[in-house]
Amino acid sequence: MSAELMTTKEVAKYLNINDKQVYALIREGGIPASRATGKWLFPKQLIDAWIESSAREGLSRARRQSEKAAGALLAAGSNDPLLDILQTAIRRIHPELYIFSANTGSSEGLAALNNGYTDIAWSHLWDPETGRYNTPFIPSRLPRIDAVVVNLFHRDLGLIVAPGNPLGVRTIGDLGKPGLHFINRQDGSGTRLLIDYHLQRAGVDPLRIAGYEREVSTHLEVGLAVLSRQADAGVATGSVSRLLGLEFITLVRESFDMILAKETYFKKGVQDFIETLRSDGFRRGVENLGHYDFHASGKVLFAVN
């Protein structure tokens, strides 16, 4: 099959859905396809454009919904279980505040912020040259935004494996072991970029890793894949390992930040968000999760003058 045309099975794998869902999309006219010699064919270039358009429409739809609610904010980008807990805490204290959040990965979150599709980007992009998170990427990724970077928390990111670590995974280089099945994060996410960097340093060819092409969009999905034995290992936060009773091998402690325009930073909803994050009540509620450090929470790490 030409690299420019995909079959039904190939596009199902590409979109991480099953064949029946592909046929449903064809019936609805929701996916670009053509029929030739009795088979459906999908131009890859048009599929990529359709994916981008669908994501943009989803964010725009969420923005329209958020504009109907006073004090609402739209967020996109990386994922962490603590964000869900934090949003629940905020709703208790500030019931008028709504935050609509999309798990798009750090890179796409910054792109959405730069293009005006979201108010906030969650991000943990690491720059190997400087050893810093997020701030080195502001000039190149947010040329249209007078950006502010605020730390939310630091967290442990590492390898998650089954209890007892039956395959003896110790480092990311062990992911190439024969018989080990991996579960990956989506391309463009901060976790995926970190995985690829460490694999390169360890001299491991991703093509040698069974399951490298299997992608999910959240840390919890990684943990559930390991818990259900659909995978032997994945990279996720330490809090997910604690929640699911899995073993954890720390790779890094990273900075998880909120990035937004300067005018958005001063909105009441954002300040209420930061206030809740820094409150003793919230901290006490999540301390048993472990693997988080709040010493810099709410601190402005970068601001365009």
Asked if residue 267 lies in contact with residue 116, where contact means CB atoms within 8 angstroms, the answer is no
Which residue spans within 104-216 are E strands per DSSP?
A: 120-123, 126-127, 132-133, 147-161, 182-185, 215-216
* Average pLDDT of the residues in 175-196: 94
Confidence of residue 2 (pLDDT cuts 50, 70, 90): very low
pLDDT at 9: 86
Torsions phi, psi of 95, nearest 5?
-65, -15
Question: Residue 84: is its pLDDT beyond 60?
Answer: yes
* Average pLDDT of the residues in 151-164: 97
Half-sphere exposure in the Cβ direction for 95 (13 Å, CA): 1
For residues 75 and 288, the model is more confident at: 75
- 62 alpha carbon, distance to own chain's centre: 18
Q: What is the CATH number of domain 158-253?
A: 3.40.190.10
Q: Which amino acid is at 5?
A: L
Lowest mean pLDDT among 49-63, 154-168, 217-231, 252-266: 49-63
- Domain ranges for the chain, please list them: 5-46, 56-153+256-303, 158-253
The helix/strand/coil state of 163 is coil
* Average pLDDT of the residues in 88-114: 90
Asked if residue 195 lies in contact with residue 184, where contact means CB atoms within 8 angstroms, the answer is yes
Half-sphere exposure in the Cβ direction for 183 (13 Å, CA): 26
pLDDT at 29: 66
Q: What is the CATH number of domain 56-153+256-303?
A: 3.40.190.10
For residues 40 and 271, the model is more confident at: 271
Asked if residue 148 lies in contact with residue 303, where contact means CB atoms within 8 angstroms, the answer is yes
Q: What is the dihedral of CA 283, 297, 86, 193, to 10 degrees?
A: -120
Residue 62 CB partners (closer than 8 Å, separation 6+): 74, 100, 102
Quote the Cα angle for 206-243-161, to 5°: 30
* Average pLDDT of the residues in 118-125: 96
Radius of gyration of the chain from Cα atoms?
Answer: 20
Q: Same CATH fold, 158-253 and 56-153+256-303?
A: yes
Q: In this structure, what token pair is assigned to residue 90? A: 């905020």
* Average pLDDT of the residues in 38-51: 77
Lowest mean pLDDT among 22-31, 55-64, 81-90, 108-117: 55-64
Q: In this structure, what token pair is assigned to residue 209? A: 């890793």
pLDDT at 240: 94
What b-and-e string marks burial along 263-293, b requiring 16 or more CB atoms within 10 Å of the CB? ebbeeebbebbbebbeeeebeeebeebebbe
Distance CA 205, CA 189 (A): 19
pLDDT at 55: 63
Q: What share of the chain is helix, strand, coil (3-state, %, to 5)?
A: 45, 25, 30
Percent of the chain with pLDDT over 70: 91
Q: In this structure, what token pair is assigned to residue 101? A: 């959040």
Question: Residue 127: is its pLDDT beyond 50?
Answer: yes
* Average pLDDT of the residues in 146-174: 96
Question: Residue 93: is its pLDDT beyond 80?
Answer: yes
Mean pLDDT of the chain: 88
Containing 265, the helix (H) or strand (E) segment is helix 262-265
Confidence of residue 49 (pLDDT cuts 50, 70, 90): confident
Question: Residue 287: is its pLDDT beyond 90?
Answer: no
Confidence of residue 45 (pLDDT cuts 50, 70, 90): confident
* Average pLDDT of the residues in 92-105: 87
Confidence of residue 52 (pLDDT cuts 50, 70, 90): low
For residues 73 and 65, the model is more confident at: 73
Question: Residue 53: is its pLDDT beyond 90?
Answer: no
pLDDT at 1: 41
Cα–Cα nearest to 244, from 166, 170, 161, 174: 161
The listed range with the strongest mean pLDDT (2-6, 94-98, 267-271) is: 267-271
